[in-house]
Amino acid sequence: MFSAKGLAIFFVLVLSMSVFADGMIVNPDMMPVRQDRQEAFIVHENGIQSMVLMVNLQEAINTTESHVWIFPVPAKPEDISIANLKGFPAMTGKDVKTQLTDNLFFLEAYMTTAAFPPFVIFPLLMIATPMNSYSNGMPMADLRTTQDSYGVDIYQHIDKYGLATEVIKADDVVRFESYLNARGTNLSDEAESFLTEYMGKDYSFVVSWISDPEEAREVTGNNDYYYRQTNPIGVFVRFPSENVFFPLKPTAYYGTDSFPVIVNVKGFFNPEIYQNVKESTTISHHQVDFWRRTISEEESLRQVFGENIPSSLLFTRIQINSQAQYFTEDLSFTRSEAWSPHIMNFFNQTWIFWFVVLFALSGLVSASLTKRVLKLNWTHLDVVELSVANFFSIIGAGIVMAVIPKNRFNVEEKSSFEKRLLSLAVFEGFFLVATVILFLVTLLMLAVK
């Protein structure tokens, strides 16, 4: 079925008394058809929000029905800019917290194997190594205000990639219904209430529909109903907004149905989520690299960032997996920076340095405890050399242990070899204890939301 990935508020209206709303497909007198997911990418800076909503046209371009997407924008129509885009930025990669814990697990695996001969180190490391998951040319919109024959003001119009998009102002539901009828779509009574809630307020509507099915099919690479679309068409909107905004309320039409709503926002934030969906919302913080972007991604990124496309981007992912009936409020939050993800990301970006520091520190503490417990006469240089040699596993530590003068091992009734072997065993034992402590700290990090 039709999937409006990135459209938390796309009302999709269908010919023959059908309506798509907020990515939902509604037939009068029937339950809405379940969507796969919705996804958006938002950049909010200096009171201006730029948003790309990914539209999956697979259903629309393979039917004879007329499809119209509608979503409200909290701004005056003359302050809104629109564009149609081919493609959607690939917002992939592990979140910074997961990446940090994976790095710690790798360190702990190396520390554990360091206490064993080299022939077991590399196989164990291969098993323990974390795998990273990944996971202009734009025509200007017509800014002239026109009015269709039904009294709805059309402020902008653009037609590209087989998709037409308009910015309209509609304060009268009867006129708005006539406007939709002219585009081959009827508005059901059930969907009307979700639209009228935004009328008579400082909201505009962005409306899109397929103007050329053949061109849309060619652009998306969708030549067969059963093939997955490879190049989704995105709808770009830029408008002034005090807060980061993403409309959710019309999704409540789905009732008890549920599907993931994913909102990616540039920057690290801890947005306030209203109580109804708070328990079913996951907030994570990621870094994505754009240096290997596709041509389609290039177009979307240039529309958002202009010529200064960043090589990498820090972003917050808000994923809501809740029954639609609990979407009683739109998503809106201030740009309040979250610092803990920045700290974790800093450790991730300088991980090699901290890997060496933590390993060496564990070795120094273990060697110092061994010296104290066994009452050895080791010098500070002996302690440092043993810690450094432990990077090369127990073999390296054993070699250093062998060259330390025997008069520095004050262990009674033991031979020189036994003294060294006992000291090595105690040292590696303390080192493994340090590994276990670090492992428990890592598990605690995972448990804390």
Secondary structure (3-state) at 78: helix
Write down which residue in 293, 309, 338 finishes a domain. Answer: 338
Contact between 7 and 51 under an 8 Å Cβ cutoff? The reply is no
Q: Which two tokens stand for residue 226?
A: 């059963």
Same domain for 193 and 54:
yes
Same domain for 180 and 80:
yes
Residue 258: per-residue pLDDT? 73
Q: Which distant-in-sequence residues (6+ apart) come within 8 Å of 222 by Cβ?
A: 57, 58, 61, 62, 216, 229, 230
Positions in the chain whose pLDDT score sits under 50: 1-35, 119-120, 131-140, 142-143, 223-229
Residue 229: per-residue pLDDT? 45
Same domain for 257 and 120:
no
Query: Which sign, positive or negative, has the C-alpha torsion 185, 190, 194, 195?
Result: positive
Write down which residue in 285, 306, 338 finishes a domain. Answer: 338
398: enclosing H helix or E strand:
helix 393-403
173: enclosing H helix or E strand:
helix 173-181
Rounded distance between C-alpha atoms, residue 298 and residue 171, angstroms: 37
Contact between 333 and 271 under an 8 Å Cβ cutoff? The reply is yes
Rounded distance between C-alpha atoms, residue 439 and residue 92, angstroms: 27
Residue 132: per-residue pLDDT? 46
396 part of a folded domain = yes
Same domain for 80 and 26:
yes
Q: Parallel, antiparallel, or unpaired: how do β-strands 38-45 and 18-21 relate? A: unpaired
Same domain for 181 and 322:
yes
- Structural domain harbouring 198: 11-91+134-338
Same domain for 326 and 197:
yes
407: alpha, beta or left, given left = phi > 0 and alpha = psi -120 to 50? alpha
343 part of a folded domain = no
67 part of a folded domain = yes
Residue 355: per-residue pLDDT? 94
* Closest-CA residue to 342 (of 283, 273, 288, 269): 269
Rounded distance between C-alpha atoms, residue 337 and residue 69, angstroms: 33
Q: Report if pTM > 0.85.
A: no
Residue 409: per-residue pLDDT? 85
DSSP state of 210: E
If you count them, how many residues does the chain have?
A: 449
Same domain for 83 and 25:
yes
2 part of a folded domain = no
* Closest-CA residue to 374 (of 423, 327, 421): 423
Residue 273: per-residue pLDDT? 87
Same domain for 252 and 124:
no
Write down which residue in 338, 359, 377 finishes a domain. Answer: 338
Q: For residue 137, give the amino acid letter.
A: G
367 part of a folded domain = yes
97 part of a folded domain = no
Residue 86: per-residue pLDDT? 83
Same domain for 167 and 250:
yes
CB burial of residue 274 (10 Å; 0-12, 13-18, 19+): middle
Secondary structure (3-state) at 355: helix
Rounded distance between C-alpha atoms, residue 228 and residue 220, angstroms: 9
Same domain for 112 and 38:
no
306 part of a folded domain = yes
Contact between 49 and 238 under an 8 Å Cβ cutoff? The reply is yes
Same domain for 408 and 288:
no
Rounded distance between C-alpha atoms, residue 21 and residue 4, angstroms: 10
* Closest-CA residue to 148 (of 192, 187, 184, 178): 178
Residue 299: per-residue pLDDT? 81
Same domain for 375 and 305:
no
DSSP state of 95: B
How many structural domains compose the chain?
2
4 part of a folded domain = no
Rounded distance between C-alpha atoms, residue 116 and residue 118, angstroms: 7
